[in-house]
């Protein structure tokens, strides 16, 4: 098992979709806790969530208005791909298969992780 320092180094040097499972699994599932710039949340597989709500839910934006502005500025990435549609709806189909999670990024190295759960 890697130390928090090791995980921080990997997290800051690699794109999130290439992180090994050993980094993803230790992330706490408690909504109040974030580790090394990441906010980890869960979402049921049968749920959907619009992108604006997801950005607020992960703590990356304070309001729907700031979320819209971030998308307009091309500052939002969904699973490593620039997002341009502020009306996008997220579902379990958007989860990366290797980590079973949706990864949002606003700006540089400000990540929100939404893990799919049953």
The whole-angstrom separation of Cα 102 and Cα 42 is 10
**Domain region containing 26:** 4-117
**Model confidence over 69-115: pLDDT tens digits?**
999 999 999 988 899 999 999 999 998 877 788 889 898 778 888 88
Q: How many domains does the chain have?
A: 1
pTM above 0.85, yes or no: no
E strand intervals along the chain = 34-35, 38-44, 49-50, 76-78, 81-82, 89-90, 101-106, 111-117
Residue 34: which CATH number? 3.10.290.10
């Amino acid at each position: 098992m890697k130390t928090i320092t090791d995980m921080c180094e990997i997290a800051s040097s690699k794109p999130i979709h290439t992180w090994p499972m050993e980094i993803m699994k230790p992330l706490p599932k408690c909504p109040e806790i974030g580790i090394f710039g990441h906010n980890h949340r869960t979402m049921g597989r049968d749920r959907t969530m619009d992108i604006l709500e997801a950005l607020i839910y992960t703590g990356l934006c304070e309001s729907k208005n700031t979320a819209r502005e971030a998308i307009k500025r091309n500052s939002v990435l969904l699973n490593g791909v620039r997002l341009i549609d502020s009306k996008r709806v997220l579902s379990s189909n958007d989860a990366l298969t290797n980590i079973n999670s949706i990864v949002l990024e606003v700006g540089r190295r400000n990540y929100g992780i939404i893990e799919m759960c049953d």
